[in-house]
Amino acid sequence: MNKVQRFCLTALGSLALVTVVSAAPAGRHQDPPPAQSTAQAQSVSGKIASVSDSSFTLTVASSTARQMEATSTTPKTMTFQIDKNTTVEGKLKVNSTADVTYREDGGNNIAISVRVTP
């Protein structure tokens, strides 16, 4: 065999090997499951004390406040962050009553849904 034939045969063999390796099914590698929030959704009701563009503060109803903090007799206020995934039914207005479903994330209460009643 001359050099040109040897080179062509080697190139053809290499190309065949690359094709076989590329077409072979990948190993059993699985992508990790998407990150899921371990925080469970919680609900609370109360009166809206203040509203800003990205958050609002709720004065928690006395019966709920007793459940959350049995030793406190003063009304409890909670601040909720609003993000692009928050659904708001009604208009957030001071002194309106709201039912909030939220999750805790890094020490912040993130509102999942808010239902406001006048």
Q: Which CATH number fits domain 42-117: 2.60.40.1290, 2.40.50.320, 1.10.260.30, 3.40.50.1820?
A: 2.40.50.320
Beta-bridge mates of residue 62: none
* Residue 34, CA distances (Å) to 30, 45, 106 in order: 12, 31, 19
Does position 27 have pLDDT exceeding 90, yes or no? no
CA distances from 21 to 12, 13, 25, 26, 30 (A): 14, 12, 9, 10, 19
Check whether 115 has a pLDDT greater than 50.
yes
Query: Rg of the chain over CA atoms, in angstroms?
Result: 30
pLDDT digits (tens, 9 = 90+) for 32-50: 555 444 568 999 999 999 9
Q: In Å, what is the CA distance from 59 to each residue of 44, 54, 81, 99, 103?
A: 10, 17, 15, 11, 17
* Predicted confidence (pLDDT) per residue in 34-92, tens digit: 544 456 899 999 999 999 999 999 999 655 444 555 555 678 999 999 999 999 999 99
What are the extents of the domains in the chain? 42-117
Between 18 and 91, where is the model more confident?
91
Report field, pTM of the whole predicted structure over 0.75: no
Going by DSSP bridges, is the β-strand pair 55-60/77-81 parallel, antiparallel, or unpaired? antiparallel
